[in-house]
Chain A
Amino acid sequence: MGGLSLGEKHFIQGGIAQDLRCDGRKRLAYRPIYVETGVIPQANGSARVRMGATDVIASVKAELGKPSLLQPDKGKVSIYIDCSSTAEPAFEGRGGDELATELSVALQRCLLGGKSGAGAGIDLSSLIVVEGKICWDLYIDGLVVSSDGNLLDALGASIKAALSNTGIPRVQVAAGTANDEQPEVDVSDEEFLQFDTSGVPVIVTLTKVGRHYIVDATSEEESQMSSAVSISVNRQGHICGITKRGGAALDPSIILDMISVAKHVSEQVINKLDSEIASAEAQEES
């Protein structure tokens, strides 16, 4: 994405001020979200989410591992994002690493909760097989295939979709092993357990341009932003995490205002996303 001329910048800013953006959207309207699930057959769960020209894929891989000593009753989840150079030539080589790290950290904050694992969108205690010995490690990998702004929201949505697509194999633990030995396990390849994803939040990014803020900014609009606040909200309307990008400072009252707007917008997004995921799952089965 190259730069914009003064005339175009002025036009974009004017559109946001007049509540009619370049593609005819209002300030608080999302682009249509399109979800496909099960796009990677090797993974335990995967999904592809498209919003306009933004295109991201997320996959979930589950492996048996050992829980950490500090939290013997919880599994582990890690999120990694990769920015493909097909999305933008600038991402080639190490060029996309900075953005990828920024996105990974933001997603970890929004979805994984605190260090203790409390408040996480994913219930970590459901990943335990034998307390202190065996647990499931979830590796969530995101790939940015094409980038047209609002990557964080799209990645959040794709991870939610991928998790609801994930099946964790049922594990039989062989009884009668000594306490200090690693128990033998039998991983079933027929029976799968579904995840409960109702607690996974969606991320709503509000981008501030001029004196107004917009949701689901395209990359052209993002180039005009002064700052952006990403708020993750779950189904109950509770805030799970907030991150801010961009250098410009914000008045606290504006942030509070943004939070209430994000809460309102997130209701529609969650409903839309859930219905899209359901129809994608139905399509996959047929």
Chain B
Amino acid sequence: MEKEIRGIQLPLSQTQKVRLKKALELLQSLSLKVNVDASVVVADTITVDHEDGVLKGHGTADLNGEVVATICGVVERVNKLVYVRALRSRYKPEVGDIVIGRVVEVAQKRWRLEINYCQDAVLMLSSMNMPDGVQRRRTAVDELNMRCIFEENDVVCAEVRGFQHDGLHLQARSRKYGKLTRGQLLTVSPYLVKRQKQHFHHLEEFGIDLILGCNGFIWVGEHIEATDDMVEDQVNQSDPQVLLPGKNSVSLEEQEKSYTTLETRKYICRAANAIRVLSTLGFNITLEIIKGIIDLSLSMNLDIHDMLGSEFCVLVAEKEAERRSSNKKKR
């Protein structure tokens, strides 16, 4: 069982090591046993029925008439096709996924976004709802004002629209999508974020927004009412020239007034550290678990930074094992 701990890079004392090992063992025993032989490592043989004919897909190779895996992952079968889905890889988009990306380029009628996929995603100006909310043809003026909507390095939330001839396309046809400000972006391995019904969360008790991007980019920020944004953008749109120079020349005093309040910031940092703990432990990231960790840390009256210490990590692992085993008993 030493191998399970090896992946978790934490300075652990002897007792903490034992406790973590126990929690992980319990978690392992609770996981479903159905798909055990579906997970393969390099050079494992994949059992196939040769009479039906086999199409070897990604991550497989032919070795002396046997199909073997060339990467570590889970075997997937679609009719005749057999391929291996790698465990720790870049994000693989699926249509309808909610992703968070960073703008790397403002190009002709489109933005290019970094979304941890093997190529940059494209967000067309035409697949954006205009800030005035009216559906209309995009004019040359709109094209010139693209930087008023998103600039380079902006963090943007969007939905995967599908693959076109020139790559992966995104769309942002709703008010909930768009630029994210006043918060921090975290990056975790994409496999930790599973597709759920809801990826946008507003934690009312803390006044924070939490967006779990399927690509492993997670946004934690101050809660912003979607409608407020609209009014602001309308002002932007009507008079972009006036606003742009002002953005850089704000005095330090004015800037300080507009900072996120300390109370909200504490919750943002607490939520962010909860996600960091989950990421080091390699646990799935869902709203329920994040809330659980925030409550746990609050009830222990723990300092925000101490949440990243080994002791709290071990505690979270134990709580998670406890939670899953009680869930199992209920069923």
Give A contacts to B, CB under 8 Å. Answer: 2-8, 10-15, 17-18, 20-26, 29, 31-32, 34, 50, 210-211
* B130-166 contacts to A (CB < 8 Å): 151-155
- Give, as a whole number of angstroms, the nearest-CB distance from A54 to chain B: 13
- List 10 additional contacts besides A5-B180, A11-B182, A17-B259; criterion CB under 8 Å: A2-B102, A3-B153, A7-B180, A8-B155, A10-B182, A14-B260, A20-B265, A20-B304, A22-B272, A23-B305
CA distance A252 to B264 in the complex (A): 36
Chain A residue with Cβ nearest B181: A7
Q: Does B276 contact A (CB under 8 A)?
A: yes
- Give, as a whole number of angstroms, the nearest-CB distance from B312 to chain A: 12
Whether A14 contacts B266 in the complex (CB less than 8 A), given A6-B247, A32-B308, comes out as no
Q: What are 5 A-B contacts defined by CB distance under 8 Å?
A: A5-B154, A7-B181, A11-B260, A23-B304, A24-B308
B151 touches A5 (CB 8 A): yes
Q: Indicate which residue in A7, A29, A210, A211 contacts B182 across the interface (CB closer than 8 Å).
A: A7
* B1-49 contacts to A (CB < 8 Å): 9, 11
Q: Indicate which residue in B185, B262, B273 contacts A24 across the interface (CB closer than 8 Å).
A: B273
A10 touches B255 (CB 8 A): yes
Return chain A residues, CB-CB under 8 Å to B308. Answer: 23-24, 31-32
A20 touches B262 (CB 8 A): yes
- Give, as a whole number of angstroms, the nearest-CB distance from A215 to chain B: 13
Instruction: Give the interface centre of A13, A15, A18, A22 by most chain B CB atoms within 10 Å.
Output: A22
Q: How many pairs, one residue from A and one from B, have CB atoms within 8 Å of each other in the complex?
A: 92
Could you tell me the dominant secondary structure of chain B's interface residues?
A: mixed
Q: Does B309 contact A (CB under 8 A)?
A: yes
A11 touches B252 (CB 8 A): no
CA distance A25 to B252 in the complex (A): 23
- Give, as a whole number of angstroms, the nearest-CB distance from A42 to chain B: 23
Instruction: Give the interface centre of A11, A12, A26, A31 by most chain B CB atoms within 10 Å.
Output: A11
- Give, as a whole number of angstroms, the nearest-CB distance from A260 to chain B: 24
Q: Does B269 contact A (CB under 8 A)?
A: yes
Q: What mask results when residues 116 to 140 of chain B are scored 1 for a CB within 8 Å of chain A, else 0?
A: 0000000000000000000000000
Q: Does B239 contact A (CB under 8 A)?
A: no
CA distance A20 to B262 in the complex (A): 8
Q: Does B292 contact A (CB under 8 A)?
A: no
Return chain A residues, CB-CB under 8 Å to B276. Answer: 23
Whether A2 contacts B183 in the complex (CB less than 8 A), given A10-B259, A211-B252, comes out as no
* B39-79 contacts to A (CB < 8 Å): none
Chain A residue with Cβ nearest B308: A23
A20 touches B266 (CB 8 A): yes
Return chain B residues, CB-CB under 8 Å to A6. Answer: 151, 154, 181, 247
Q: Does B104 contact A (CB under 8 A)?
A: yes
* B170-200 contacts to A (CB < 8 Å): 179-185
- Give, as a whole number of angstroms, the nearest-CB distance from A284 to chain B: 14
- Give, as a whole number of angstroms, the nearest-CB distance from B293 to chain A: 13
A7 touches B252 (CB 8 A): no
Return chain B residues, CB-CB under 8 Å to A210. Answer: 252
Return chain B residues, CB-CB under 8 Å to A34. Answer: 11
Q: Indicate which residue in A2, A8, A18, A31 contacts B265 across the interface (CB closer than 8 Å).
A: A18
CA distance A7 to B260 in the complex (A): 11
Q: Indicate which residue in A4, A10, A23, A50 contacts B272 across the interface (CB closer than 8 Å).
A: A23
- Give, as a whole number of angstroms, the nearest-CB distance from A148 to chain B: 12
B104 touches A2 (CB 8 A): yes
Q: Does B115 contact A (CB under 8 A)?
A: no
CA distance A3 to B102 in the complex (A): 9
What are the 10 closest A-B residue pairs judged by CB atoms, nearest first? A7-B181, A24-B304, A14-B259, A3-B153, A24-B305, A24-B269, A5-B154, A34-B11, A25-B305, A5-B153
A22 touches B269 (CB 8 A): yes
Q: Does B270 contact A (CB under 8 A)?
A: yes
CA distance A282 to B308 in the complex (A): 24
Instruction: Give the interface centre of A8, A29, A50 by most chain B CB atoms within 10 Å.
Output: A8
Return chain B residues, CB-CB under 8 Å to A20. Answer: 262, 265-266, 269, 304
Q: Does B307 contact A (CB under 8 A)?
A: yes
A8 touches B304 (CB 8 A): no
Return chain A residues, CB-CB under 8 Å to B269. Answer: 15, 20-24
Q: What mask results when residues 242 to 279 of chain B are scored 1 for a CB within 8 Å of chain A, else 0?
A: 00000100001001101110100110011011001000
Return chain B residues, CB-CB under 8 Å to A211. Answer: 252
Q: Does B303 contact A (CB under 8 A)?
A: yes
Return chain A residues, CB-CB under 8 Å to B104. Answer: 2
CA distance A10 to B154 in the complex (A): 12
Q: Does B233 contact A (CB under 8 A)?
A: no
Q: Does B114 contact A (CB under 8 A)?
A: yes
